[in-house]
C-alpha cells in the first residue's frame, strides 16, 4: 500500500550534484529510488510532504523540501545501529484533505510496525494528518506543539495552519488528551486563545519563561506521543526560510536540543517539521538547520533508556507531604536516566483509559518546589485535567 502513496526520489540527480562519502547519510540509509525498500528491521522513516494549499498565507516562496533532503544526506552518520529509510515524497491528493488522509495512512502503517515517522512539510495543518494516523489505536494521545503562536482558532470553512488544533479537538473519533505548547510569544496570541487553553487544562510555555533553563521544557516533550514543530518558532536570524517569522524565538541550538529531547523520549512516536519555504532559502541555511534537527532527534532516539514506566527497582520513590492541605505527592526518579515523574493517586482514575496518564513527567525543580511546600503547576494541571476527563466535560464548540 505504501508504495502507491509515495513518489520515488530522483537519486541520480542528487548523486550528480554531490559526491557522497560512504559514511554520509546518503549511503547509510535505505532510499526509495528504484524499488520500494523493505521495512523489516527499520526503526525510523523520513518522508516529505510539500503540501501548502490550506496555508493561510499563499506565496510563491512555498515549494518543495528537496534542499532539506540534500542537506540531510550530506551529514555524517554516528549511529552504528542506524536502521532508517527515506520513503520519498507523499503524492499530493486532489485536495489538501486527501493529502491529510494519505499522511494518516502512512503514519498508521508505520506505527503498526513500530517505526517512527519523521515528516518534513509543508504547512503545519499537516499535523492533522499526522494525528489522524493515531486514531485506529483507540488510545489517548498527547500532543506537543512548538510554535510562536497557538493555532486554536475555530473555522467552519476549512482546516488551515491556524485552526488545525481546533479540528483535532473536535474530531468525533478523537482521543486527544493533552496539548502542550512550547515557545509561544504572548504578543502574538489573542487573550481568548490563552483562556481557552487554560479552560481545557492544557500546558503552555511562553518563550521567555524558560530562557535561563530550557530543561524545564523537557517534561512536556516527554509527555507527548506526537510532536509538531513550526519552524516559525525559531528566530528569523537562525532560520529565514519561513513566512511571517518573528525576530524572537528559539535559537538554532535550542531547536536542536528540543529535538534531542523528543528523540530520547520513550513515549514519543512521531515528529513533524513544518512551514519550510524553500524559495526563501537561498543560502540553504534553514535546510541545513532542519537536517541537523533531524540528526539530533536520531541521536536522542538511539540513547533511549526504556524507562517509559519507571515503577520498578530501577526507580527511586520520594513522597512529599502537604500537611495543610492533606495531600501527598509521590515523585519517581529513574536510576537509568535521572529523569523525574509525579504519580497521580489510583483513586483519581475512574476511566480505565486514563491509567497511562497517571505518570506525569516533571523536573527536579518540581520536586524542590514541593519540598518547599509549593504545589508544582504541572501537578495542578494534571489533577484538573484528569478530573475534567473523569467528569466527561464537553469541549467548547468554538473559541474565536
pTM attached to this predicted model: 0.94
Q: Which fold has domain 2-301?
A: 3.40.800
List the strands of the sheet with 340-343, edge to edge: 315-322, 327-334, 340-343, 359-362
User: According to the model, what pLDDT value does residue 61 have?
Assistant: 56
User: According to the model, what pLDDT value does residue 106 have?
Assistant: 98
User: According to the model, what pLDDT value does residue 327 have?
Assistant: 76
Nearest to 396 by CA among 157, 146, 195: 195
CA pair distance 342, 362, nearest whole angstrom:
7
Phi then psi dihedrals of residue 212, to 5 deg? -80, -20
CA pair distance 245, 239, nearest whole angstrom:
9
Ranges of CATH 3.40.800.10 domains, the chain = 2-301
Helix (H, G, I), strand (E, B) or coil at 155: coil
Q: State the cell numbers at 161.
A: 495552519
User: According to the model, what pLDDT value does residue 395 have?
Assistant: 46
Helix (H, G, I), strand (E, B) or coil at 19: coil
Helix (H, G, I), strand (E, B) or coil at 221: helix
Burial profile 310-333: b = 16 or more Cβ within 10 angstroms, e = fewer: beeeebeeeebeeeeeeeebebbb
- Low-confidence spans in the chain with pLDDT less than 50: 393-400
- DSSP string over 63-111: ---HHHHHHHHHSBP--TT--EEEEEEEPP-SSHHHHHHHHHHHHHHHH
pLDDT in tens, 286-308: 999 999 999 999 999 999 988 86
Amino acid at each position: 500500500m505504501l508504495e502507491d502513496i509515495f513518489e520515488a526520489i530522483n537519486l541520480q540527480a542528487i548523486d550528480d550534484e554531490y559526491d557522497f562519502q560512504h559514511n554520509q547519510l546518503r549511503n547509510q540509509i535505505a532510499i526509495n529510488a528504484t524499488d520500494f525498500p523493505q521495512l523489516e528491521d527499520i526503526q525510523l522513516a523520513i518522508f516529505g510532504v510539500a503540501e501548502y494549499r490550506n496555508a493561510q498565507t499563499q506565496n510563491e516562496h512555498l515549494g518543495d523540501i528537496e534542499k532539506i533532503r540534500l542537506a540531510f544526506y550530506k551529514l555524517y552518520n554516528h549511529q552504528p545501529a542506524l536502521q532508517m529509510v527515506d520513503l520519498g515524497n507523499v503524492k499530493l491528493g486532489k485536495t489538501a484533505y486527501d493529502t491529510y488522509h494519505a499522511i494518516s495512512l502512512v503514519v498508521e502503517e508505520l506505527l503498526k510496525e513500530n517505526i517512527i515517522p519523521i515528516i518534513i512539510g509543508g504547512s503545519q495543518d499537516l499535523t492533522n494528518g499526522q494525528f489522524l494516523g493515531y486514531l485506529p489505536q483507540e488510545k489517548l494521545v498527547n500532543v506537543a506543539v512548538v510554535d510562536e503562536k497557538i493555532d486554536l482558532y475555530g473555522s467552519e470553512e476549512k482546516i488551515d495552519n491556524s485552526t488545525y488544533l481546533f479540528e483535532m479537538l473536535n474530531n468525533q473519533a478523537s482521543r486527544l488528551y493533552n496539548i502542550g505548547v512550547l515557545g509561544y510569544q504572548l504578543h502574538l496570541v489573542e487573550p481568548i486563545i490563552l483562556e481557552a487553553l487554560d479552560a481545557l487544562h492544557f500546558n503552555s510555555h511562553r518563550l521567555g519563561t524558560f530562557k535561563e533553563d530550557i530543561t524545564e521544557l523537557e517534561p512536556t516533550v516527554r509527555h507527548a506521543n506526537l510532536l509538531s514543530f513550526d519552524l516559525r518558532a525559531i528566530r528569523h536570524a537562525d532560520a529565514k526560510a519561513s513566512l511571517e517569522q518573528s525576530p524572537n524565538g528559539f535559537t538554532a541550538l535550542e531547536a536542536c536540543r528540543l529535538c534531542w529531547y523528543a528523540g530520547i523520549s520513550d513515549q514519543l512516536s512521531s515528529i513533524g517539521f513544518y512551514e519550510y519555504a524553500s524559495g526563501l532559502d537561498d543560502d540553504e541555511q534553514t535546510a541545513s538547520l532542519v537536517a541537523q534537527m533531524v540528526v539530533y532527534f536520531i541521536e536522542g532516539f538511539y540513547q533511549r533508556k526504556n524507562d517509559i514506566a519507571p515503577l520498578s527497582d530501577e526507580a527511586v520513590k520520594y513522597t512529599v507531604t502537604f500537611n495543610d492541605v492533606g495531600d501527598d505527592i509521590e515523585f519517581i526518579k529513574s536510576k537509568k536516566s535521572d529523569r523525574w515523574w509525579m504519580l497521580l493517586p489510583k483513586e483519581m482514575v475512574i476511566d480505565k483509559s486514563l491509567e497511562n496518564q497517571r505518570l506525569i513527567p516533571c523536573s527536579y525543580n518540581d520536586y524542590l518546589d514541593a519540598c518547599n511546600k509549593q504545589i508544582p503547576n504541572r501537578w495542578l494541571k494534571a489533577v484538573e485535567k484528569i478530573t475534567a476527563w473523569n467528569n466527561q466535560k464537553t469541549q467548547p464548540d468554538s473559541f474565536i
